[in-house]
C-alpha cells in the first residue's frame, strides 16, 4: 500500500509539472503517465521523474554496448557505473536499480566506495517507496 501511495504522489507531481509547463491546458486535459516500480525500466523512470519534478537533474546511464553496422561495439562507461546519475541541491547521487534478488557486483561495490569517498550518495533502489524514503532521509 505504501508503494501505491508513493506512486500516486508521483502522478500528482507529474500533473503539477505539466500544469506549470502548459498553464493554459484545461484541468481535465492533463493525464498522469502510468508509473510502475515492478520492472527495472519502470522503477528507473519513476526515480528520474521524481528527481526532476523535485527540481533536480537526473539521467539514465546506459552501460551496455551497441550494434553499429552489424558489429558489437563495447560501451565506454566504466564497469560498475550506477544506472542513474542525479544532482539535487549540490549533492551527487548514484542510484543503482535492482529488482528481485539482483545483487551488487564487485565493480558496483567498488563504485559505491568511490562515490561515497568523494562525498556523493550511493543508493540501491529496489522499489519506489524505498527510494523515496531513502532520498528524503539519506543519512538514516
**pLDDT 10s digits, 50-83:** 999 999 999 999 877 777 888 877 776 788 899 9
Per-residue pLDDT for 138 more than 70? no
Across 75-94, average pLDDT:
89
The whole-number pLDDT of residue 72 equals 76
Helices 2-21 and 128-136, packing angle to 10 deg: 70
Q: How far apart are CA 123 and CA 48, in angstroms?
A: 13
Confidence band of 19 (pLDDT split at 50, 70, 90)? confident
The whole-number pLDDT of residue 66 equals 75
Q: When comparing pLDDT for 133 and 64, which is higher?
A: 133
For 26-54, the DSSP string reads: -GGG--PPP--SSSHHHHHHHHHHHHHHT
Q: How far apart are CA 32 and CA 14, in angstroms?
A: 6
The whole-number pLDDT of residue 76 equals 65
**Digit-coded pLDDT (tens) for 22-42:** 888 887 787 778 899 999 999
Confidence band of 107 (pLDDT split at 50, 70, 90)? very high
pTM recorded for the entire structure: 0.85
The whole-number pLDDT of residue 68 equals 82
Across 3-12, average pLDDT:
87
The whole-number pLDDT of residue 93 equals 96
Amino acid at each position: 500500500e505504501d508503494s501505491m501511495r508513493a506512486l500516486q504522489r508521483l502522478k500528482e507531481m507529474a500533473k503539477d509539472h505539466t500544469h506549470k509547463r502548459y498553464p493554459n491546458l484545461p484541468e481535465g486535459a492533463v493525464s498522469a503517465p502510468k508509473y510502475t516500480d515492478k520492472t527495472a525500466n519502470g522503477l528507473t523512470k519513476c526515480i528520474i521523474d521524481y528527481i526532476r519534478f523535485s527540481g533536480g537533474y537526473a539521467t539514465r546511464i546506459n552501460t551496455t554496448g551497441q550494434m553499429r553496422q552489424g558489429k558489437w561495439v563495447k560501451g565506454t562507461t566504466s564497469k560498475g557505473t550506477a544506472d542513474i546519475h542525479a544532482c539535487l541541491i549540490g549533492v551527487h547521487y548514484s542510484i543503482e536499480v535492482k529488482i528481485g534478488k539482483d545483487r551488487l557486483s564487485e565493480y558496483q561495490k567498488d563504485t559505491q566506495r568511490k562515490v561515497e569517498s568523494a562525498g556523493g550518495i550511493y543508493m540501491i533502489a529496489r522499489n519506489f517507496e524505498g527510494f523515496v524514503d531513502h532520498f528524503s532521509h539519506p543519512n538514516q
